A = this chain, B = another copy of it.
Amino acid sequence: MKTHNFSAGPCILPGQVFEEASKALLDFDNLGLSVIEISHRSKNFVAVMEEAVALVKELLNVPDTHEVIFLQGGASLQFAMVAYNYLTETGKAQYLDTGAWASKALKEAKGLGTAEAIASSKEANYNFIPKGYSIDPSADYFHCTSNNTIYGTQMKSFPETDVPVICDMSSDIFSRPVDVSKFDLIYAGAQKNLGPAGATLVIVRKDSLGKSGRYIPTMLKYTTHIEKESMFNTPPVFSVYVSMLTLRWLKEMGGVEAIAARNQAKADLLYGEIDRNPLFVGTAATEDRSNMNACFLLNDEAHKEAFDALWKEAKINGINGHRSVGGYRASMYNAMDLDSVQALVDCMKELEKQYA
């Protein structure tokens, strides 16, 4: 019986990726060696890195103005790197505060210089995406978080502005088409739609760099990694390799347009049930609902024991909500099949049969 993995991250990846990675751990490229015991400068691994970068460019239609690099440290290290590389000593940065991670990103900028939240949904426990804010045209950059895993909200559009736009797309990159040319920098921890934890993807407009005027430690400087093609020091070999396999799978699936349609179908199925079933209620504003993470509550906590028993019986995994929202969170990343969402919906319907 299949386990349905709704984990928020690290999360489900395609089964064929696990299969191939499992084999490569024993023998990679018929070398008689594991993929994790060869030099990162060997032609075999250089080919992996090059293919990973090429697939990112192809799948997201990255323009020639932008570079693609793989780093370490997760989005959390990017919070600091963004500020070091873009925030000038006398300038200011503007942040859209849509959740705990957006707020942490802002904190790192504040540590270095002047930065502020120009809009926030904190008072509403981040259950919507603020709109109607205006970005100061003199700002060094505007920072936003495209998808908020904890609260189940997602930006459906991005502001039009002449200010450089920097976006943390950790939890929805590769889930839908995005116009990369509109962003000066996009970053994403790998561990949702891209691959295992341990790699961080950065897509950066080359001519946006070198303007902060600050001393930047070598490892925090984007140009360091661009110049060395993500090999300034030993890259996270296995995480990059599995990311490459996942991107290959995504291309086979038809790319981001095709996966976006599949993700929409999964989201429609689950949100449809949340709205229809009298025992449940969604927590995020309808128009801002995330197609990656659906957060919902039981209307009556008395049904918790019964519902938990139902989804455990169905081999559903990882749907407990984050402690700051409570209830349930179903993460439906790219690799999840519709039948897993159906399995969850079936449990919701069964609960209704028993109690409604």
Contact with B along A4-23 (1 / 0, CB 8 A): 01011111110000110111
Q: Is A234 an interface residue (CB 8 A)?
A: yes
A220–B40 alpha-carbon span in the complex (Å): 25
Chain B residues lying within 8 Å of A2, measured Cβ to Cβ, are 32
Instruction: Describe A's contact surface by its main secondary structure.
Output: loop
Closest chain-B Cβ to A202's Cβ sits at a distance in Å of 14
Q: Are B9 and A189 in contact (CB under 8 A)?
A: no
Q: Beta-carbon contacts of A165-201 to B below 8 Å, as 1s and 0s?
A: 0000000000000000000000001010000111100
Inter-chain contacts of A79 with B (CB < 8 A):
217-219
Q: Does A284 contact B (CB under 8 A)?
A: no
CB pair B108–A10 under 8 Å, yes or no, is no
Question: B7, A39: Cβ atoms under 8 Å?
Answer: yes
Identify the stretch in A67-75, A119-127, A247-255, A266-274 within 8 Å (CB) of chain B at 4 or more residues.
A67-75
> Which residues of chain B are within 8 angstroms of A234 by Cβ–Cβ distance?
9-10, 74, 189, 191, 197
Q: Verify A21–B10 contact, CB threshold 8 A.
A: no
Q: Which residue of chain B has the shortest Cβ distance to A75 in the bound complex?
A: B233
State whether A13 touches B40 (Cβ < 8 A). no
- A8 in contact with B219 (CB, 8 Å): no
CA distance A200 to B80 in the complex (A): 19
Q: Is A298 an interface residue (CB 8 A)?
A: no
Chain B CB within 8 A of A77 CB:
yes
Contact digits for A129-168, partner B, Cβ 8 Å, 1 yes 0 no? 0000000000000000000000000000000000000000
Among A10, A32, A39, A189, the one with the most B-chain Cβ atoms within 10 Å of its Cβ is A10
Check A25 against B34 for contact (C-beta < 8 Å). Answer: no
Kindly state the separation between the CA atoms of A33 and B112 in the bound complex, as whole angstroms: 41
Select A239's contact among B3, B19, B112, B238, beta carbons within 8 Å: B238
A33–B25 Cα distance when bound, in Å, is 17
Q: Which 5 A-B pairs have the closest CB atoms?
A: A198-B236, A80-B217, A3-B32, A36-B196, A76-B233
Given contacts A18-B37, A74-B234, A107-B218, 20 further A-B contacts (CB under 8 A): A5-B37, A7-B39, A9-B39, A13-B36, A22-B22, A33-B317, A36-B242, A40-B197, A72-B73, A72-B198, A76-B218, A76-B232, A76-B233, A80-B219, A111-B217, A112-B217, A189-B233, A191-B234, A198-B198, A239-B239
